[in-house]
């Protein structure tokens, strides 16, 4: 049991404006897999949060920093990011990359680099993406996945896995049962360190 993640350490960040959209559905199946391994999951719906863009003030990077200087809802997310060992980020592709809600969140993670030196240590991330065009290259999904790979690679975070698939209408991805099974299996993998 020593290689199992501790209960209470999975944070799911939903980056779509649709609570029941396709990327949220993929996240739902990742959660199902994680919970089947007795992991406790907390979900944050980014669209309901007031998250401002990074102001490039670099206050978070100063030696005496207390973290990000922007007083908004991201301040409630930072402690969750630090506490949880596993993050699941779910986003649709909007205009050839991750959604604006997800991008705002990702940009503001910059504050974790200096403020909390070990904020990214031993973190593991799973990514869920949905997009309209059947081709992940044409849709821009590849751009989003590469953005995640680059950012988390820079921060030293391990990406445990990625699930992504094509669906246009809200909930349409439910028809892709193979992909939903893949998402559930990814959720199970989150229990293994």
Please return the burial class of 45, using the count of CB atoms within 10 Å of its CB with bins 0-12, 13-18 and 19+.
Answer: middle
Query: What is the model's pLDDT at position 2?
Result: 41
Question: Is 183 within 8 Å of 34 (Cβ atoms)?
Answer: no
* Per-residue pLDDT tens digits of the chain, which is 193 residues long: 345 555 348 999 999 999 999 999 999 999 999 999 999 999 999 999 999 999 999 999 988 888 899 999 999 999 999 999 999 999 999 999 999 999 999 999 999 987 566 788 889 999 999 999 999 999 999 999 999 999 999 999 999 999 999 998 989 999 999 999 999 999 999 998 8
Between CA 13 and CA 46 the distance in angstroms is: 7
Query: What is the model's pLDDT at position 88?
Result: 98
User: Domain 10-189: what homologous superfamily?
Assistant: Flavodoxin domain (3.40.50.360)
Q: Can you tell me whether residue 135 is helix, strand or coil?
A: coil
Question: Model's pTM, two decimal places?
Answer: 0.93
Question: Is 100 within 8 Å of 94 (Cβ atoms)?
Answer: yes
């Amino acid at each position: 049991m020593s290689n199992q993640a501790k209960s209470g350490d999975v944070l799911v960040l939903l980056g779509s404006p649709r609570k029941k959209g396709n990327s949220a559905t993929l996240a739902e199946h990742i959660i199902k897999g994680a919970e089947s391994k007795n992991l406790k999951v907390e979900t944050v719906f980014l669209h309901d949060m007031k998250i401002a863009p990074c102001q490039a003030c670099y206050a978070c990077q100063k030696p005496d920093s207390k973290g990000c200087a922007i007083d908004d809802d991201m301040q409630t997310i930072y402690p969750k990011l630090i506490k949880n060992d596993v993050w699941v980020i779910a986003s649709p592709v909007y205009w050839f990359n991750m959604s604006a809600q997800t991008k705002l969140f990702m940009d503001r993670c910059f504050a974790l680099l200096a403020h909390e030196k070990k904020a990214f240590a031993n973190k593991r991330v799973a990514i869920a993406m949905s997009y309209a065009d059947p081709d992940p290259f044409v849709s821009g999904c590849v751009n989003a996945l590469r953005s995640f790979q680059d950012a988390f690679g820079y921060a030293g975070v391990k990406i445990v896995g990625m699930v992504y698939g094509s669906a246009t209408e809200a909930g349409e991805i439910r028809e892709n049962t193979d992909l939903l099974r893949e998402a559930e299996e990814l959720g199970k993998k989150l229990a293994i360190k």
